[in-house]
Amino acid sequence: MVTQDEDWWRGAVIYQIYPRSFLDSDGDGVGDLRGAIARLDHVAALGADAVWLCPFYSSPQDDFGYDVSDHVTVDPQFGTMADFDAFLAAAHARGIKVLIDLVGGHTSSRHAWFQESRARRDGDKSDFYVWADPRPDGTPPNNWLSVFGGPAWAYDVRRRQYYLHHFLVSQPALNLANPAALDALLAVGEFWLQRGVDGFRLDAVDFLAHDPALRPNPASPKGRAPAKLFGMQEHLHDMMHPDTFGILARIRALADRYGAVTLGEVSSQIGAYRRVMDYTHGDAHLHMAYTLSPLRDGFDWPTVRTLLGRLSEAGEQGWACFSFSNHDVARAATRWSPGGVPDDRHTKLLIALLLSLRGTACVYQGEELGLPDVALTEEEIRDPFGLAYWPDFKGRDGSRTPMPWMATAPNAGFTAGPTPWLPIRPEHVHRSVDVQESDPDSVLRFTRAMIAFRKAHPALIHGTLRQLDLPEPLIGFVRMWEGNHVVCIFNLSGASARIDLARVGEATILPGCADAPEIDGTSASLAPYGALFASLVDAPALLLAA
Active site residues: 203, 265
Task: Say if residues 72 and 188 touch (Cβ distance below 8 Å).
Answer: yes
Task: Say if residues 276 and 291 touch (Cβ distance below 8 Å).
Answer: yes
CA dist 402 and 32 (Å) reads 12
Task: Say if residues 21 and 403 touch (Cβ distance below 8 Å).
Answer: yes
Task: Say if residues 428 and 413 touch (Cβ distance below 8 Å).
Answer: no
CA dist 240 and 530 (Å) reads 39
368: three-class secondary structure by DSSP: helix
CA dist 144 and 183 (Å) reads 27
β-sheet bridge partners, residue 153 = 164
β-sheet bridge partners, residue 465 = 479
Neighbours of 194 (CB within 10 A): 10
- Give the distance between the most distant pair of CA atoms in the chain: 80
CA dist 201 and 324 (Å) reads 16
CA dist 22 and 31 (Å) reads 6
Task: Give residue 375's Cα distance to chain centre.
Answer: 21
Nearest by Cα to 231 from 67, 66, 397, 392: 392
Task: Say if residues 529 and 511 touch (Cβ distance below 8 Å).
Answer: no
3-class SS letters over 280-332: HCCCCCCCEEEECHHHHCCCCHHHHHHHHHHHHHHCCCCCEEEECCCCCCCCH
Q: φ, ψ for residue 150 (rounded to 5)?
A: 80, -175
Nearest by Cα to 403 from 438, 357, 436: 436
Task: Say if residues 202 and 286 touch (Cβ distance below 8 Å).
Answer: yes
Which residues, 6+ apart, have CB-to-CB distance to 417 below 8 Å?
24, 26, 27, 28, 29, 411
Q: List the Cα angle 389/392/396 in 5-degree steps.
A: 65
The answer, yes or no, to whether the previous bond of 473 is cis (omega within 30 of 0) is: yes
